[in-house]
Amino acid sequence: MGFCKSACGLLIVSVIMIMCSKVAESTGIGVNWGTISSHRLSPTTVVDLLKDNNIKKVKLFDADPGSLRALMGSGIEVIIGIPNELLGAISSLPAASDLWVAQNVSRYVGRGGINLKYIAVGNEPFLTSYSGQFQSYVMPALTNLQQSLAKANLGGLVKLVVPCNADAYEATIPSQGTFRSELMQIMTQLVSFLNSNGSPFMVNIYPFLSLYGNSDFPQDYAFFEGSNHPVTDGPNVYYNAFDGNYDTLVSALSKLGYGQMPIVIGEVGWPTDGAPGANLTAARAFNQGLIYHVLRNTGTPLRPGVPPVDIYLFSLLDEGAKSVLPGNFERHWGIFSFDGQAKYALNLGLGNKFLKEARNVKYLPSRWCVANPSRDLSGVANHFKLACTVADCTTLNYGGSCNDIGVNGNISYAFNSYYQITKQNSQSCDFDGLGMITFLDPSIGKCRFLVGVTEYSKSLGCGLDNRRVTGWLLIIWVVWILMK
């Protein structure tokens, strides 16, 4: 009898371990790889960085040929994206959909090709700030793309998803979650389409933006160490914003009859610069807390034991040429800096204890452009404005890592940022004699004066054929509209 109890106990433990391992296997940690940068690493260097860190899932925002060629044969699971601007053409013209699939999918899949998992149709097309601009295109685009994939014999291999911002749904407490009233009809159609085709619901969740946009938002509720301001929702208590937001979506899906639909987190992360609260300490605390939270497989109150299918950290690298309309932090989401250097210690739960940095990065020479200390800088304003219009000066603003380096430091930072973007062209450090080149690193404390990289320029790289097809799609669509 004692032996039976022992054996049965071991059997139960073994079954539980097997079940947990299966859940863990289906919950992946991936990254978003954006390329809106003035200092872009070569795609092969980035793919090597992914491999070195055992990152087996990556999400792209387009179908850049250089990135896709570098990913071929890597085994890394890939999501490619269709920009919102192409949805009109693809939704209106089946031939445009066929062309896009042929150009960006068929040529890259197959033996030795990319491991394509999803196509992201649009990027947050229902965002409130778009005022419905792309809303009517989504379902026709999905229909046309599904047919195009079927024609290419890829209908069962590649799934379509629509990355949604968390503002697509709303509630005061998670159990009251519902999609925005103006989205109810299209969301009903969307989740039915996703369910019929075996696709998950993809959502982007950003507790940082809740904290950034609301001075009354409890800071500790944005993280995963527990909160002194939990949200009580009947029998359920929420100690972090991520779980609360996630279960609000679960409730919204349940109200449409799809409460068990798989969910993928398309974007989630924390910036390291460019705003109060955006710093290395907070970013590490959030991302590490999130990873441990998800990998524990505890799920949420409305989905206990069922974490998201996958989460994609935003992002892999800083993107110094992104729009700063949402805030200066937009250029500083990377867990790595633009040159593939780890910003902080982070365990992704993928086998490495800490991040491994990019190898064999080719930098420009170690020289910088700074303000000439022997010149009167009173007339520098226009030069400063020019430099910061072209280059990235977001770290100089309130809350940034270079906010306290003084007036001359600000000028030097702006001059150098411009100088590095021009690949250290000596004339770009002139500024009517107000700038000078130095071989001494002018970095001050935590404020880093960068040196550019030489490896890759998208404007000179492999994207030309893709941009040409994109241009033709838009032209064809415009002509089609004019002829209607």
> Model pTM?
0.91
Q: How far, in Å, CA of 369 to CA of 375, rounded? A: 14
pLDDT higher than threshold 90 for residue 354: yes
pLDDT at 3: 40
From the number of C-beta atoms within 10 Å of its C-beta (0-12, 13-18, 19+), residue 136 rates as middle
319 is catalytic: no
Selected catalytic residue, list 25, 85, 124, 330: 124
CB contact set of 306 (below 8 Å; sequence gap of 6+): 23, 299
Domains, in order of start, for the chain:
27-331 (3.20.20.80), 368-452 (no CATH)
Please state, in angstroms and as integers, the Cα–Cα distance from residue 215 to each residue in 145, 219, 397, 468, following that order: 43, 9, 19, 45
pLDDT at 9: 43
- Which amino acid is it at 137? Y
Q: What percent of the chain has pLDDT over 70?
A: 88
pLDDT at 464: 45
129-163 pLDDT per residue, tens: 999 999 999 999 999 999 999 999 999 999 999 99
157 SS3 class: coil
Query: pLDDT-based confidence at 11, cuts 50/70/90?
Result: very low
Beta-strand (E) ranges in 51-174?
57-60, 77-82, 115-121, 159-161, 164-165, 169-170
CB contact set of 413 (below 8 Å; sequence gap of 6+): 393, 395, 396, 402, 405, 447, 449
pLDDT at 27: 72
pLDDT higher than threshold 70 for residue 12: no
pLDDT higher than threshold 50 for residue 306: yes
Strand partners, 354: none
Are the CB atoms for 331 and 391 separated by under 8 Å? no
62-76 pLDDT per residue, tens: 999 999 999 999 999
Selected catalytic residue, list 25, 77, 267, 357: 267
- Token pair for residue 158? 């590649």
pLDDT at 477: 60
Taking residues 326-330, what's their average pLDDT?
97
pLDDT higher than threshold 90 for residue 264: yes
Q: How far, in Å, CA of 402 to CA of 333, rounded? A: 17
408-464 pLDDT per residue, tens: 999 999 999 999 999 999 999 999 999 999 999 999 999 999 999 996 655 434 444
Q: How far, in Å, CA of 318 to CA of 336, rounded? A: 7
pLDDT at 460: 37
pLDDT higher than threshold 80 for residue 467: no
pLDDT at 4: 43
pLDDT higher than threshold 50 for residue 371: yes
pLDDT higher than threshold 90 for residue 203: yes
455 is catalytic: no
413-429 pLDDT per residue, tens: 999 999 999 999 999 99
36-51 pLDDT per residue, tens: 999 999 999 999 999 9
356 secondary structure, DSSP code: P
pLDDT higher than threshold 60 for residue 322: yes
For 177-190, b/e burial (b = at least 16 CB within 10 A) is: bbbeeebeebbeeb
pLDDT at 23: 37
pLDDT at 439: 98
Query: pLDDT-based confidence at 13, cuts 50/70/90?
Result: very low
pLDDT at 465: 54
Cis before 337 (ω within 30): no
pLDDT higher than threshold 50 for residue 15: no
pLDDT at 462: 42
Taking residues 65-93, what's their average pLDDT?
98
Taking residues 261-290, what's their average pLDDT?
98
pLDDT higher than threshold 80 for residue 2: no
- pLDDT averaged over the chain? 91
pLDDT higher than threshold 90 for residue 14: no
